[in-house]
Structure 1
Amino acid sequence: MPHLTIEYSANLDGRADIGGLCETLLKTVLETGLFELGAVRVRALRADHYAIADQLPENAFVDLNLRIGKGRTAEEKKRAGEALFAAAADVLGPLFGTPHFALSLEIREIDAELSWKKNAIHPRLRGK
């Protein structure tokens, strides 16, 4: 962990660099120093169907959901969240020039007893 899922409204295609957002947020997660390289995943999921607020077609959103394992202090989680939110707001800055955009972030801790993983990336990166 962590796994960061970016969910975004389809009407952002051509208006936001979602690939660039993924790369920026991956870099930001790693810069926190809280997570191992081989554990980080950033993925973007386009929402083709959505209804936002007053349903104006210009309304758009990006929702960030960061799932992490336990073991970090509240201060560390807050610092990571603030860094991610600031980085996303910077990349998506032009969208705030209209009254039709919403950005959100939530951090969720995963219960280790209810999470299964098998990762062949860790051994490769740890062997360096």
Structure 2
Amino acid sequence: MPHLTVEYSANLDGRADIGALCRGLLKGVLSTGLFEIGAVRVRAVRCEDYAIADQLPENAFVDLNFRIGTGRSPEEKKRAGEAIFAAASEALAPLFETPHFALSLEIREIDPDLSWKRNAIHPRLRGR
């Protein structure tokens, strides 16, 4: 952990650089200093089917779901959320020039007793 999932409406194709968004979000997560580099994942999921608000075809969304392990204070979680939301807002700034875009972020803590992981990346990065 942490894993940041970006769900976005398919009509953003050609209007937003989702790859650049993912890279900017990764940078935002790491800038907090709260998470080990080998644990961070940012992935994007394109949503083909959706219905937004008044269903105008130009309505679009990006929803960010940030799943983290336990052990961070409320202040640290808030700082992480602010860094991620700022990175997303910057990358998606042109979309806010229209009245047809929505951005959201939620942080969820994962119960360690109900989470299994196996990571071969950590040993490589920790050995630097």
TM over 0.5: yes
1:23 paired with 2:26, answer no
Match of 1:44 in 2: 44
Normalised to the residue count of structure 2, the TM-score between the two structures is 0.99
Match of 1:83 in 2: 83
1:54 paired with 2:61, answer no
> In 1, Cα distance between the equivalents of 2:110 and 2:121?
20
> In 2, Cα distance between the equivalents of 1:31 and 1:89?
16
Deviation at 1:127, TM superposition (A): 1.1
Q: Secondary structure at the match of 2:89?
A: helix
Post-superposition Cα deviations, 1:75-106, rounded to whole Å, max 9, x if no partner, equal: 00001101110110111000011110000000
- Letter paired with 1:58: E
Deviation at 1:22, TM superposition (A): 0.3
> In 2, Cα distance between the equivalents of 1:104 and 1:118?
30
Match of 1:127 in 2: 127
Normalised to the residue count of structure 1, the TM-score between the two structures is 0.99
Match of 1:7 in 2: 7
Q: Secondary structure at the match of 2:122?
A: helix
- Letter paired with 2:35: F
User: How many residues were matched structurally?
Assistant: 128
**Structure 1 unaligned residues grouped into runs of 5+:** none
**Structure 2 unaligned residues grouped into runs of 5+:** none
Match of 1:68 in 2: 68
> In 1, Cα distance between the equivalents of 2:95 and 2:31?
25
Post-superposition Cα deviations, 1:23-82, rounded to whole Å, max 9, x if no partner, equal: 000011011000001000000000000000000000000000000000000000001101
C-alpha RMSD of matched pairs (Å): 0.4
Q: Percentage identity across aligned positions?
A: 80
Match of 1:95 in 2: 95
> In 2, Cα distance between the equivalents of 1:82 and 1:99?
23
